[in-house]
């Protein structure tokens, strides 16, 4: 080896001692991560082989040999006996090479009338579809955990906040049901994305279709797609399904992060609204009194990871001309990671919600703090004295100022003091100033009244089954 060669190899670094060839293999190969698509790749190949035989493009004997061989390869992978090779670049070539070792010459006929372009699009779409189904299942499990909390605390009062300032009393059940609704939209987004993506790319070949008399409707049906994709260029160029999955996952993770933030606040010594179970809390190495909401804090951070994956794939796709470019090999790792992260977050949040214990006395004591029934007072003035709301708002503000000056709540003011705000006020006003009376009065559809909460719980229980 010459000094010049030694210098070049040193430049490539330790693992690239062989020079440019090793670097090209490392940057070009995707088997390190796309091996996760093995089940979808084999399913697509089996459907393709069966269709080729049905169309007379393959003999029945070859198709049967391919089908049986693929099942053998699948068993090897699932048993952990399969050796993946970076030299073979990707999951498609690894499976095909092993199939040839198993069944011989017929394996070479499998790739008739298809390309790795439509093959990978099909595999990836099938995998993403499976992840959507798993995400919906995880979301529904979390919704059921929230429903259990809501049903138990349908009439427990707690403060409702705006700007994290005490605003009006609400029920614990009402607060829990807010997240059931959010998660319902998340599941809806995943279902919408699934319906839109459920078109098969298989048979689009490299980009222009094929001259062989294939039946794309048959392979689409065999793989559970609604129909074949109608444009071969679009079929191999499309990664909208992955972007929609990531977008829906990001919104869902944002919702989980919002509740995680509430759990961090609520479980603090200053709030004491909830106690998280030991399974989702940790202690301090030096402060024995601490119970840290680590699981909630980690959940709060996971959105950054999922949203980062979303931005990464948008960035990959934004400037690509039709149809396939090698850039699109960078479409999978972030989607794989985001899917894993989302499922972990859903499982962790389900455990936290299921196990958390609300501190009902503390919630009730906090519900009336900060003159939380001031709006009830203003509403009473409008309803009973026929005051314009703006005037009622002004009267209420003056009475809040009086109570604040006296260091008491509105309900603790005497009737004479209340009448100093407006002479028409009667003893009946006291009936709306208690927090339980306040929440019970909010009977509009979707309101916080216990009966409304129970009705929404029943609706969702029926919907989720």
Catalytic residues, by residue number, are 163, 284
Question: How deeply is 360 buried, as exposed, middle or buried, from its count of CB atoms within 10 A (0-12, 13-18, 19+)?
Answer: middle
Tokens standing for 156?
Answer: 């427990």
How is residue 411 annotated by DSSP?
G
Give dist(CA 350, CA 51) in Å, integer. 43
Give the residue ranges of DSSP H helices in 155-282: 172-197, 216-222, 232-237, 240-266
159 sits in which H/E element: strand 157-162
For 446, other C-beta atoms within 10 Å of its C-beta total: 13
Q: Give strand pairing partners of 292.
A: 282
C-alpha to C-alpha distance for 183 and 16, rounded to whole angstroms: 48
Checking DSSP bridges between strand 227-228 and strand 199-200, what pairing results, if any? parallel
**What is the C-alpha R_g of the chain?**
31
Give, for 445, the enclosing helix (H) or strand (E).
Answer: none
Residue keyed to tokens 């216990």: 450
Contact 339, 385 (CB under 8 A): no
Per-residue tokens: 136: 């919906």
Q: Is the peptide bond before 103 cis (omega within 30 degrees of 0)?
A: no
Residue carrying structure tokens 């809501």:
150
Sign of CA dihedral 358, 360, 361, 363: positive
Cα–Cα distance for residue pair 67/182, rounded to 1 Å: 44
What DSSP element (H or E) covers 3? helix 3-12
DSSP-based three-state secondary structure for 157: strand
Structure tokens belonging to residue 334: 């972030």
The pairing of strands 165-171 and 157-162 is antiparallel
Give the whole-angstrom CA distance, residue 189 versus residue 118: 26
Q: What is the DSSP letter of 160?
A: E
């Amino acid at each position: 080896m010459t000094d010049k060669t030694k210098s070049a190899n040193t430049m490539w670094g330790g693992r690239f001692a062989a020079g440019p060839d090793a670097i090209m293999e490392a940057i070009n190969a995707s088997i390190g991560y796309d091996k996760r698509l093995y089940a979808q790749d084999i399913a697509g190949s089996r459907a393709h082989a069966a269709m080729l035989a049905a169309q007379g493009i393959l003999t029945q004997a070859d198709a049967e040999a391919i089908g049986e061989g693929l099942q053998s390869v699948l068993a090897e992978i699932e048993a952990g006996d399969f050796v993946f090779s970076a030299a073979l670049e990707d999951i498609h070539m690894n499976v095909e090479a092993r199939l040839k070792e198993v069944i011989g010459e017929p394996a070479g006929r499998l790739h008739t009338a298809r390309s790795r372009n439509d093959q990978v699009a099909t595999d990836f779409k099938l995998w993403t579809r499976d992840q959507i189904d798993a995400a919906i299942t995880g979301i529904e499990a979390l919704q059921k955990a929230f429903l259990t909390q809501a049903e138990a605390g349908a009439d427990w009062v707690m403060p409702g906040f705006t700007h994290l300032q005490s605003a009006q009393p609400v029920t614990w059940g009402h607060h829990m049901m807010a997240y059931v609704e959010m998660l319902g939209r998340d599941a809806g987004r995943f279902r919408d994305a699934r319906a839109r993506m459920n078109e098969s790319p298989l048979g689009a070949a490299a980009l222009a279709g094929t001259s062989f008399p294939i039946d794309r409707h048959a392979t689409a049906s065999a793989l559970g797609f609604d129909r074949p994709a109608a444009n071969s260029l679009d079929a191999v160029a499309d990664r909208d399904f992955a972007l929609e999955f990531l977008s829906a996952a990001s919104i869902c993770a944002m919702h989980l992060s919002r509740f995680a933030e509430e759990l961090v606040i609520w479980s603090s010594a200053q709030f004491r609204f909830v106690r998280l179970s030991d399974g989702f809390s940790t202690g301090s190495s030096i402060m024995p009194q601490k119970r840290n909401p680590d699981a909630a804090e980690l959940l709060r951070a996971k959105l950054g990871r999922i949203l980062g994956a979303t931005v990464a794939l948008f960035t990959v796709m934004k400037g690509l001309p039709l149809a396939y470019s090698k850039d699109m090999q960078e479409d999978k790792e972030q989607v794989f990671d985001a899917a894993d992260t989302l499922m972990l977050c859903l499982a962790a949040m389900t455990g936290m919600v299921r196990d958390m214990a609300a501190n009902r006395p503390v919630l009730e004591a906090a519900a009336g703090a900060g003159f939380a029934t001031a709006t009830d007072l203003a509403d009473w003035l409008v309803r009973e004295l026929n005051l314009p709301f703006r005037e009622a708002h002004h009267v209420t503000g003056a009475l809040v100022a009086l109570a604040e000056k006296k260091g008491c709540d509105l309900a603790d003011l005497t009737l004479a003091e209340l009448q100093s705000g407006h002479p028409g006020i009667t003893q009946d006003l006291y009936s709306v100033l208690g927090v339980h009376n306040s929440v019970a009065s909010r009977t509009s559809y979707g309101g916080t009244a216990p009966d409304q909460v129970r009705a929404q719980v029943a609706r969702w229980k029926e919907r989720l089954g």
